[in-house]
């Protein structure tokens, strides 16, 4: 995506997983899911079939 792509809103989908859907903007209708580690922390997000890892926290 270009760096100036506007932010979009998303909604969490019902069910046991961490699935979401983009509800506005250029990616409207796109679905994905959050990935978590063994402790439940979000480690990444799937968007359009690509996995984006969460950046480590700054010191």
Counting every residue, how long is the chain?
59
The domain ranges of the chain are: 10-53
Q: Report in angstroms the alpha-carbon separations of 14 from 8, 21, 25, 42.
A: 20, 11, 21, 18
What does the pLDDT average to over 23-34?
Answer: 91
| Residue 20 pLDDT level (bands cut at 50, 70, 90) | very high
The predicted pLDDT at position 16 comes to 84
The predicted pLDDT at position 8 comes to 85
What does the pLDDT average to over 43-53?
Answer: 90
| Residue 23 pLDDT level (bands cut at 50, 70, 90) | very high
CB-based contact 21:30 (threshold 8 Å): yes
CB count in 10 Å sphere of residue 16 = 5
The predicted pLDDT at position 1 comes to 64
């Amino acid at each position: 995506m270009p760096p100036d792509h506007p932010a979009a809103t998303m909604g969490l989908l019902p069910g046991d997983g961490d699935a979401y859907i983009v509800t506005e903007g250029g990616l409207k209708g796109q679905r994905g899911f959050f990935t978590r580690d063994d402790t439940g922390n979000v480690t990444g997000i799937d968007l359009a079939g690509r996995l984006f890892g969460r950046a480590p926290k700054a010191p």
